[in-house]
Structure 1
Amino acid sequence: MQGRHPHLRPVWLDGASQWSTQTRRVLATLAATALALAGCSAGDLGSSDDSGSGTTISFLADNSDASLKTAQGVADAFNAKHAGVTVKVETRPQGTEGDNVVKTRLSTGDMTDVFMYNSGSLFQALKPEQNLAPISDQPYVGDLDNTFKSTVSAGGKVYGVPFGGATGGGILYNKAVYTKLGLQVPKTWADFMANNAKIKAAGIAPVVQTYQDTWTSQLIVLADFHNVAAAAPDFAEQYTAGKAKYATTPAALKSFQRLQEVHDAGYLTTDFASTKLEAGIKHLADGTGAHYPMLTFAVGTLVSQSPDKVGDIGFFALPGDDAAKNGLTVWEPAGVYIPKTTSGPKLDAARKFLQFVASKDGCDAMAKATTPFGPFLVKGCTLPADVAAPIKDMQPYFDNGANSPALEFLSPVKGPSLEQITVEVGSGIRKAPDGAALYDQDVKKQAQQLGLPGW
């Protein structure tokens, strides 16, 4: 979902994947119409200040409401603190069209002085060693979250700072239901299923699913990746090389099996096949459903629909087999980068801007501009005190280092039919082993289109 992310960010999730495309659609429905920035046309950006009083640099961001507000907010805050440098925001489209704009401008040497773009596999597709200026020698790089740094690094060098906070994939849950039934947050899948049994016995639907919005059917499979990586640390590398498969890697197959298990046990809301995200959030808020496999960006829908119930909702990572390895699958934020074409006084100004973005002042400016849907990945940055409880619940997974990037940040391989396959597996139409094998076939076609070796 990087283009993805609500979050609301189409920027965190990997635009190379169908998941990212679907998230962009969700963002389009959840976010307001993108703001128009007067006076920010391509023709007046990126030039030196004609008054001679300083340097003006241009900052390219996508035109989603959240990205644009965040970009303008951090630019305004920077400008207020740096009299000698002015940052002006320029916009580009979202999605595939925006990807092409970024790649074209880099290849033609026409990129803005600074730009925002995806981390992970889409970042790698920009050929960073060829097109971007490394920032590894900058002192603030040591304050960046190590997992995030891995998604904006190439050839042993770091190229970007985080644009906004992370997004978690896991389980939103009704804390009021947990308190009433005396349940504890589970750290293993067995404990999760035991909780589900007690919840069902109390006459409450244990698991909300919303398959009318087909993209939501992928959450259990995708949010399980931390558990896959814990059991098979080289899965992403081997998967990209065409050597590891979902159907033949036991840890990866479990992701599909878990999706099947909650259906076969009769734990789903009765209207799972015809429900959309908004109705699913209402089930959760009203306590007619106890768990909802979802990304934390959906907290925005919760806040807007059921503000009086926000305090009743929490969040935990999708449990795996080993409580000692319990951790969160994370959709990393986008990065802010400097192209190699930025030079002279503009390069110095761009470095100052990235330093500001990766500072407490920068985080505070972004939090003020848009509601965070996950922790900031910069040391010293904290979430606002009034942020919703599910977002606060993510922080320990970062404090303890118990998190992993979603697979799409580590591999460009993601088949376009996953959401249809997970609907079938999650609805009892297809068994997990068949679904995993079908997805392996779907992935092969996409990998071959990308020209990856080993496929």
Structure 2
Amino acid sequence: MAYTISRHYLAAAAAGCALALSFAASAQAEVKLAFLVDNAPATVKAAEALAAAFHARNPDITIEVEARAAGGEGDNIVKTRLATGEMTDVFMYNAGSLFHALNPQQNMLDLTDEPYQSDIMDTFKAVVSENDRIYGAPFQTAMGGGVLYNRKIYAELGLEVPKTWAEFMKNNEAIKAKGGVAPVIQTFRDTWTSQLFVLGDFYNVLQAVPDFPEKYTANQIKYATTPAALRGFEHQAEVFNAGYLNEDFGSASYDDGLRMVSKGEGAHYPMLTFAIGNLFENYRDDIDNVGFFALPGDDAATNGLTAWMANGIYGYAQTEYPDEVKKFIAFVAGKEGCDTQTEAVGAIGPYMTKSCTLPDDVPPATKDLVAYFAEGGRNAPALEFLSPVKGPALEQITVEIGSGIRSPLDGAKLYDEDVRKQALQLGLPGWE
């Protein structure tokens, strides 16, 4: 039997094919990028706000935010994903020493020639660069390592912000004598929160030993044999031995710590200032109760802040969509990206993009932080931005010291050994 195909049928078929091809082309044009960030509430909210704002401007690109653990567990997740080739298209990670440990030349997109780099502060570009190539852009703001404190408790007891460790301990004693309030909050359920007495003390180490980073990197100086560096470990033991900690310090979480300091259940919480974003998200009604000061050392005349650069946002070198990834990173690093983050999680600290500004109505803790960056303010980078060496086991060691399980000297010796292993992995000269 012969079959006759009409012209109308052929025309309809041709139209259908064209429509199908059109749908196929449209489907191909839609790109989905996965963006890995840590699971701090403020980080996730900022990332989701950026993803939504970017998609509104670029409807053909969808950003799917994925959260991972923070601290050492999160560090292992990032390294494992890179090692197995399963990293997301875009990911947030530390700048500085931990960045170098990720082998950026192999694992990250080169962002050196992106136009927005001229708007990024040189101090930030230096900590996401290797062999004169730039691999990252800033995500969120610069931070300080110090102490969040309850301003109402200070006002009630007539306390002043301490400029020395002796003054800090005197304030703690006054708070303990009042009763009902923990002078110092510790939250060892989230082990990464245990490190601030050591890491936040580095500004004070630099005042005593200005060439510490160079000698440390060259294996010419140790924490355990340098009194100024050992002090951070000793401080952590001192607050435990004095009975200043909250009773549940071993099981309390990071969020518990934020609740306690904002609601006056505790007076001092050693922490990085990115926590201001989490206060804004979860305890906004109490955020004006919280101030911030740098971790004090032995000399009021040299009081200053240990500063952390913003986290980096990086593109995975093996992504299927390098152009789209670079477009998203450019958005995050630009003024619109800064404004999106501020609207989402509040003004946490100074941005690393020159064109980005903060609103006037920032929380008190942010004002306290920015003062250390203003003209006449005192700050210096954390050690991880001056040396490629940082041992991954510090958070476990400081939990032991802060719980009275290990002495400060033994903890410092153990950390020196942890650092030695990391330096050997990096192939640094002078280590064996």
Same fold, TM-score > 0.5, yes or no = yes
In structure 2, the residue matched to 1:407 is: 383
CA contact (8 A) 1:92 1:98 kept: no
Mind listing any 5+ residue stretches in structure 2 that lack a counterpart?
Answer: 1-23, 69-73
For structure 1, which segment, 121-130 or 434-443, has the greater mean C-alpha deviation from structure 2 after superposition? 121-130
Q: CA deviation at 1:436?
A: 1.6
Q: Pick one of 164, 167, 179 that aligns with 2:140.
A: 164
Q: 1:305 to 1:399 in 2, by over 3 A?
A: same
Q: CA deviation at 1:161?
A: 1.5
In structure 2, the residue matched to 1:361 is: 336
Q: CA deviation at 1:201?
A: 4.2
Question: Cα deviation per residue 1:32-58 (whole Å; 9 max; x = unaligned)?
Answer: xxxxxxxxxxxxxxxxx946xx98877
2:130 maps to 1:154? yes
CA contact (8 A) 1:160 1:337 kept: yes
2:287 maps to 1:310? yes
CA contact (8 A) 1:317 1:329 kept: yes
Structure showing the higher helix proportion among its residues = 2
Q: Pick one of 357, 377, 385 that aligns with 1:382.
A: 357
Work out the CA distance in 2 between the residues paired with 1:430 and 1:111.
39
Aligned residues: 397
Counterpart of 2:417, as a letter, is Q
CA contact (8 A) 2:79 2:102 kept: no
Q: CA deviation at 1:217?
A: 2.8
SS of 1:242's equivalent in the other structure is coil
In structure 1, the residue matched to 2:416 is: 440
2:185 maps to 1:208? yes
CA contact (8 A) 1:57 1:350 kept: no
2:235 maps to 1:258? yes
Equivalent pairs: percent with the same residue?
50
Counterpart of 1:398, as a letter, is F
Q: 1:142 to 1:103 in 2, by over 3 A?
A: farther
SS of 1:173's equivalent in the other structure is strand
SS of 1:162's equivalent in the other structure is strand
TM-score normalised by the chain length of structure 1:
0.71
Work out the CA distance in 1 between the residues paired with 2:360 and 2:237.
38
Counterpart of 1:363, as a letter, is C
Counterpart of 1:256, as a letter, is F
Counterpart of 2:186, as a letter, is Q
Q: What root-mean-square deviation, in Å, do the aligned CA atoms of Structure 1 and Structure 2 show?
A: 4.0
In structure 1, the residue matched to 2:398 is: 422
CA contact (8 A) 1:408 1:414 kept: no
In structure 1, the residue matched to 2:407 is: 431
Work out the CA distance in 1 between the residues paired with 2:153 and 2:168.
14
CA contact (8 A) 1:372 1:383 kept: yes
CA contact (8 A) 1:92 1:101 kept: no
Q: Pick one of 385, 393, 397 that aligns with 2:372.
A: 397
In structure 2, the residue matched to 1:321 is: 298
Work out the CA distance in 2 between the residues paired with 1:103 and 1:398.
38
For structure 1, which segment, 357-366 or 235-244, has the greater mean C-alpha deviation from structure 2 after superposition? 235-244
2:193 maps to 1:219? no
Counterpart of 2:366, as a letter, is I
CA contact (8 A) 1:177 1:287 kept: yes
CA contact (8 A) 1:60 1:116 kept: no
CA contact (8 A) 1:57 1:87 kept: yes
Q: 1:245 to 1:375 in 2, by over 3 A?
A: same
CA contact (8 A) 1:56 1:346 kept: no
SS of 1:191's equivalent in the other structure is helix
SS of 1:393's equivalent in the other structure is helix
CA contact (8 A) 1:246 1:253 kept: yes
Work out the CA distance in 2 between the residues paired with 1:117 and 1:62.
9
Q: 1:231 to 1:308 in 2, by over 3 A?
A: same
Taking the TM superposition and a 5 Å limit, the aligned residue runs for 1:37-116 are 50=25, 59-62=33-36, 70-71=46-47, 73-78=49-54, 80=56, 87-89=61-63, 94=68, 95=74, 96-102=76-82, 112=89, 116=92
Q: CA deviation at 1:364?
A: 1.1
In structure 2, the residue matched to 1:24 is: none
Work out the CA distance in 2 between the residues paired with 1:450 and 1:302.
37
Q: CA deviation at 1:317?
A: 1.6
CA contact (8 A) 1:338 1:350 kept: yes
In structure 1, the residue matched to 2:153 is: 177
Larger radius of gyration: 2
In structure 1, the residue matched to 2:266 is: 289
SS of 1:394's equivalent in the other structure is helix
Counterpart of 2:167, as a letter, is D
2:163 maps to 1:187? yes
Question: Cα deviation per residue 1:106-132 (whole Å; 9 max; x = unaligned)?
Answer: 9xxx995x6654422343234445665
In structure 1, the residue matched to 2:223 is: 246
CA contact (8 A) 1:57 1:346 kept: no
Q: 1:59 to 1:161 in 2, by over 3 A?
A: farther
Q: Pick one of 267, 275, 278 that aligns with 2:244.
A: 267
Work out the CA distance in 1 between the residues paired with 2:269 and 2:391.
23
CA contact (8 A) 1:61 1:68 kept: no
Work out the CA distance in 2 between the residues paired with 1:119 and 1:74.
20
Work out the CA distance in 1 between the residues paired with 2:318 and 2:109.
8
Mind listing any 5+ residue stretches in structure 1 that lack a counterpart?
Answer: 1-48
In structure 2, the residue matched to 1:46 is: none
Q: CA deviation at 1:176?
A: 1.0
Work out the CA distance in 1 between the residues paired with 2:186 and 2:106.
44
Counterpart of 1:125, as a letter, is A
Work out the CA distance in 2 between the residues paired with 1:198 and 1:210.
22
Q: 1:146 to 1:404 in 2, by over 3 A?
A: farther
Work out the CA distance in 2 between the residues paired with 1:196 and 1:389.
21
Question: Cα deviation per residue 1:222-266 (whole Å; 9 max; x = unaligned)?
Answer: 221232234334433433443321111222111112222323444
